[in-house]
Amino acid sequence: MVSKQQINLKIDELLRRYNTRDPFLIAEAKGIVVITEALGDIYGYYHKVSRIPFIHINERLSY
């Protein structure tokens, strides 16, 4: 299991590397496709198709 400290270290690394806190800009820089769609009660999920990463976000969420 990943510890809270390990997560915080990874976040700090991403913030330094991409010089932003915007998750959409970080996803774009990492080549991750972000899709907003109706997902019912699911907030979102991540998957890969043919080595292409996708993040699906529920369109009802405010961000």
Q: Where are the alpha helices (DSSP H) in the chain?
A: 4-18, 23-29
Instruction: Using DSSP bridges, classify how beta strands 52-58 and 33-37 pair: parallel, antiparallel or unpaired.
Output: parallel
pLDDT at 38: 97
- Global confidence as pTM: 0.80
pLDDT (tens place) for every residue of the chain, 63 residues total: 999 999 999 999 999 999 999 999 999 999 999 999 999 999 999 999 999 999 999 999 987
pLDDT at 62: 82
The helix (run of H) or strand (run of E) holding residue 48 is: strand 44-49
